[in-house]
Each structure stands twice: as C-alpha cells, then as structure tokens.
Amino acid sequence: MKDFLIKYLGVTLLWFCFAGCRSKTTITLHCIFSDNMVLQQNANVKFWGTTLPGKHIKINATWTEKTYLVKADKNGNWNTEITTPKYAARII
C-alpha cells in the first residue's frame, strides 16, 4: 500500500510539473488600443502588435462575422487592416 501511494504521488507530481511547463502565447496590441475606443466609420483601420515569431493570429471584430487571419513576422510583429461599417442609426 505504501509503495502504491509513493508511485501515485510521484506520477501526480510529475503530471503537475509537465502541465505547468506548457508554453503560453502572449498576443499584445499596441498601447494606443483600449477598451471602448471609437473607430472611424466606413474605413480600413490598421491594427498591430506583437506575439511569438511565426505565430498565426485570428481576429474577430464584433461588427462583422468575417475572421481576419494574420501571421507574425520573424521578429514577432504583426499588423492587419480591418474594415469598419458605415454608421447605421437605430430608431427607438
């Protein structure tokens, strides 16, 4: 019984060590972008930032169902243009 517990604890500890070693990708937008910012209507707005070199990024804007795919360059820099819609007033 004691040997079983030692093996079980050893395997559990090993699992936690490997689970903590997974690489995490950080995708960063340039600092001028923030929550609740207003974008120019009916325009191509440039977005840029950094991540790991060669990493693929998928961007979904709330105003469209289109998905924008971007790949970071060898230095980890990425950029793209996202089209914003024309303003549509809602009558209440």
Which percentage of the chain shows pLDDT scores above 70? 67
Kindly state whether residue 75 falls inside one of the protein's structural domains: yes
Number of domains in the chain: 1
Residue-range definition of the domain harbouring residue 39:
25-86
Domain membership of residue 40 (yes or no) is: yes
Burial class (CB in 10 A: 0-12, 13-18, 19+), 72: buried
Q: Is residue 57 part of a domain?
A: yes
Is 7 contained in some domain?
no
Interval 22-51: pLDDT, tens: 456 688 888 888 888 888 889 999 999 999
User: 56 in a domain, yes or no?
Assistant: yes
CB atoms within 10 A of CB 47: 18
* Average pLDDT value for the chain: 77
Q: Which amino acid is at 22?
A: R
Report yes or no on 80 lying in a domain.
Answer: yes
pTM: 0.65
Q: Is the predicted pLDDT of residue 15 greater than 70, yes or no?
A: no
Q: Is residue 9 part of a domain?
A: no
Is 46 part of any domain? yes
| pLDDT of residue 11 exceeding 50 | no
